[in-house]
C-alpha cells in the first residue's frame, strides 16, 4: 500500500505546483490535530484488547462517531479564521472538505478493528488496495486536467469515502445502539496513551503550517511540505513496520539485562543500516531525481530535502527507544518521550521558520532530532534496556559513515556521468543511484556482514522477492559465508 501511495504522490507532484500543496497544507495542518483527537487512539487500543464484545465495540463506534462529528464541525467553524490568518480566501473551503473527510474516516475505524481482530488481513489489504488505486487514479486524472489544488482535495475525499464503504462491506458488522455502561474504560485509557504520540506529531504539522504559511505563503509551505514528505519515505517504508517485530524480540529478553542490551543494539544497527541505503542514495541523486521525477517546479525543494534527510537519518536512533519502553511497559517514560519528541521539534521548527523561512524550518527539524531527541532516546534506552551508550555511539557513528559513503558515491557518480555527456537527468539519477548502492554495499560489508545479510533479506522480503532463487543467490554472492 505504501508503494502505491508513494507513486501516486510523485505523479501528482508532476502535475501540480508547490502553491497547490501549500494551500491544502494550510488547512490540513490544523484539521490533522482534530482528526487525531476524534480517533482518540481507540482503534489501536481496541485491536490490542484481550476481549471486545459487540456491546463494547458498538460503544467505541458511537464514541468515535460523536467525536468525529464534533471535530468535523470544528473544522468548518475554524475555516474562516484560518482563511483570515493566512490571507487565503480558498482555505475555508479546503478546511470544510477536510472536516467531512475526517468524519467519514472516523466512521470506518471500528469496522476495520473488527476485520483485524478476526485475522482477515488479506481482506483488509484488498480493501485498502482498491481505495488507494481508485483515489490515486481519480486524483491524477483531476491534476492532469488542470484542477490544481482540487485534485489533492479529491484525493483525500475519495480515499475517505472509499475506505468507509470498503470497510463496512468487508466487516459485515452493524453496531448496536450505545449504552453508557458498555463503554470500555480501560480501552479508552490505553487509547489515550497510544494517541498522545500521534497528537504531538499532528501538533508539529499544525505549527509548521501556521508559521511557514504566514511567513512564506503557499508556495514556500508547499516546497517544505513536499520535501518533508519525501524525506519521511525511508522511515515509513522501513522503520515504522519494524516497531512490532522489534518489541516482540526485545520482550523475549526481559529477564536477562545483558541479552536485552545486546539485542537492542543489534536491532538499532539493523534498522539504521537499512535506513542508510535509501537516505544515502536519495541524498546523492536528489539534484537530478527531484526535477526528473516531480518536474522542474520542485527544483527549489532540493536543498530543503537534503537538510531534512540529515534529520531523517537520526530518526531511528531517536525513536528506537520506544521499542524498549514498550517492551518493558514503561508508560511514564513513554509519555515523557512522546511529549519531549513533540514539543522540542515544534519549538525548533517554528523558530527556524520565523527566522529563515522554509530553510530555517528544515534546519530546526534536523537540529532538534540530533541534539535533543537522539540524546534523550539513548538515555531512556539505557534505563529500559541497560544500553551501553559508548558502544552504542560508536556503532551508530559507523553506520553514519556508511550513509555518507553512499551519498558521496552517488553524488560523484551522478556528476561524473553528467561530465561524460549523459544529458537526461533521470538517467543520471539512475546511474548515480547504482554507484551509491555499490558503495553502500562495500561499506556495509566492512561494518557487519551478519547485519548486512539480515538487511538484504529484509529488503527482499519488503519487495516480495525473498523466496526468488536468483535473489537469494545474489544475497549469497554479496555476503558469502553467512548462510
Burial class of residue 474 (count of CB atoms within 10 Å of its CB; 0-12, 13-18, 19+): middle
- Look at residue 182 in the predicted model and tell me its pLDDT: 59
- Summarised one tens digit per residue, pLDDT across range 224-274 is 999 999 998 887 777 666 665 676 677 777 777 788 888 888 888 888 988
- Look at residue 93 in the predicted model and tell me its pLDDT: 95
Q: Is the pLDDT of residue 405 over 90?
A: yes
Residue ranges in 252-320 assigned as alpha helix (H): 257-294, 302-319
| Distance, CA of 30 to CA of 18 (rounded, Å) | 19
CB atoms within 10 A of CB 297: 18
- Summarised one tens digit per residue, pLDDT across range 62-118 is 888 888 899 999 999 999 999 999 999 999 999 999 999 999 998 988 888 777 777
- Average model confidence (pLDDT) across the chain: 86
Q: Is the pLDDT of residue 287 over 90?
A: yes
What is the average per-residue pLDDT within 267-285? Answer: 91
- Summarised one tens digit per residue, pLDDT across range 439-456 is 999 999 888 888 888 888
- Summarised one tens digit per residue, pLDDT across range 26-54 is 999 888 888 877 766 766 666 666 666 77
With beta carbons less than 8 A apart as the criterion, state whether 440 and 281 touch.
yes
What is the average per-residue pLDDT within 165-183? Answer: 77
Q: Is the pLDDT of residue 300 over 90?
A: yes
With beta carbons less than 8 A apart as the criterion, state whether 34 and 102 touch.
yes
Q: 483 falls in which pLDDT band (50, 70, 90)?
A: very low
- Summarised one tens digit per residue, pLDDT across range 117-153 is 777 777 778 888 888 889 999 999 999 999 999 999 9
Cell numbers placing 353: 521558520
Amino acid at each position: 500500500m505504501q508503494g502505491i501511495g508513494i507513486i501516486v504522490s510523485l505523479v501528482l507532484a508532476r502535475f501540480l505546483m508547490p502553491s497547490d500543496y501549500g494551500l491544502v497544507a494550510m488547512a490540513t495542518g490544523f484539521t490533522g490535530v482534530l482528526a487525531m483527537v476524534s480517533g482518540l487512539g481507540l482503534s489501536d487500543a481496541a485491536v490490542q484488547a484481550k476481549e471486545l464484545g459487540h456491546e463494547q465495540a458498538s460503544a467505541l463506534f458511537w464514541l468515535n462517531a460523536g467525536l468525529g462529528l464534533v471535530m468535523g464541525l470544528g473544522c468548518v467553524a475554524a475555516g474562516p479564521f484560518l482563511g483570515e490568518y493566512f490571507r487565503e480566501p480558498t482555505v475555508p473551503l479546503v478546511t470544510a472538505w477536510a472536516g467531512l473527510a475526517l468524519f467519514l474516516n472516523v466512521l470506518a475505524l471500528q469496522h476495520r478493528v473488527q476485520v483485524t481482530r478476526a485475522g482477515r488481513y488479506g481482506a483488509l489489504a484488498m480493501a485498502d488496495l482498491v481505495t488507494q488505486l481508485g483515489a490515486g487514479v481519480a486524483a491524477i486524472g483531476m491534476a492532469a486536467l488542470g484542477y490544481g489544488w482540487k485534485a489533492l482535495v479529491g484525493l483525500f475525499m475519495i480515499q475517505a469515502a472509499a475506505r468507509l464503504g470498503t470497510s463496512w462491506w468487508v466487516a459485515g458488522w452493524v453496531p448496536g445502539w450505545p449504552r453508557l455502561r458498555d463503554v470500555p474504560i480501560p480501552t479508552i485509557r490505553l487509547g489515550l496513551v497510544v494517541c498522545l504520540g500521534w497528537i504531538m506529531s499532528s501538533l508539529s504539522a499544525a505549527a509548521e503550517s501556521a508559521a511557514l504559511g504566514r511567513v512564506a505563503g503557499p508556495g514556500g509551505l508547499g516546497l517544505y511540505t513536499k520535501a518533508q514528505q519525501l524525506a519521511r519515505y525511508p522511515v515509513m517504508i522501513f522503520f515504522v513496520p519494524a516497531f512490532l517485530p522489534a518489541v516482540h524480540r526485545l520482550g523475549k529478553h526481559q529477564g536477562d539485562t545483558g541479552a536485552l542490551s545486546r539485542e537492542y543494539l543489534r536491532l538499532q544497527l539493523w534498522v539504521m543500516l537499512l535506513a542508510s541505503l535509501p537516505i544515502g542514495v536519495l541524498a546523492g541523486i536528489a539534484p537530478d531525481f527531484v526535477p526528473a521525477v516531480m518536474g522542474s517546479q520542485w527544483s527549489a525543494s532540493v536543498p530543503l530535502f537534503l537538510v531534512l534527510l540529515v534529520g531523517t537519518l537520526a530518526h531511528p536512533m531517536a525513536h528506537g527507544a520506544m521499542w524498549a519502553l514498550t517492551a518493558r511497559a514503561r508508560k511514564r517514560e513513554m509519555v515523557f518521550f512522546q511529549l519531549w519528541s513533540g514539543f522540542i521539534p515544534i519549538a525548533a521548527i517554528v523558530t527556524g521558520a520565523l527566522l529563515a523561512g522554509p530553510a530555517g524550518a528544515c534546519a530546526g527539524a534536523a537540529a532538534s532530532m540530533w541534539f535533543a531527541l537522539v540524546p534523550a532516546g539513548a538515555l531512556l534506552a539505557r534505563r529500559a534496556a541497560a544500553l551501553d551508550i559508548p558502544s552504542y555511539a560508536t556503532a551508530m557513528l559507523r553506520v553514519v559513515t556508511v550513509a555518507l559513503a553512499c551519498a558521496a558515491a552517488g553524488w560523484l557518480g551522478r556528476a561524473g556521468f553528467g561530465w561524460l555527456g549523459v544529458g537526461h537527468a533521470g538517467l543520471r539519477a539512475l546511474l548515480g543511484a547504482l554507484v551509491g548502492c555499490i558503495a553502500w554495499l562495500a561499506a556495509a560489508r566492512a561494518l557487519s556482514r551478519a547485519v548486512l545479510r539480515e538487511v538484504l533479506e529484509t529488503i527482499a522480503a519488503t519487495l516480495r522477492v525473498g523466496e526468488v532463487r536468483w535473489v537469494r543467490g545474489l544475497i549469497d554472492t554479496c555476503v558469502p559465508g553467512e548462510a
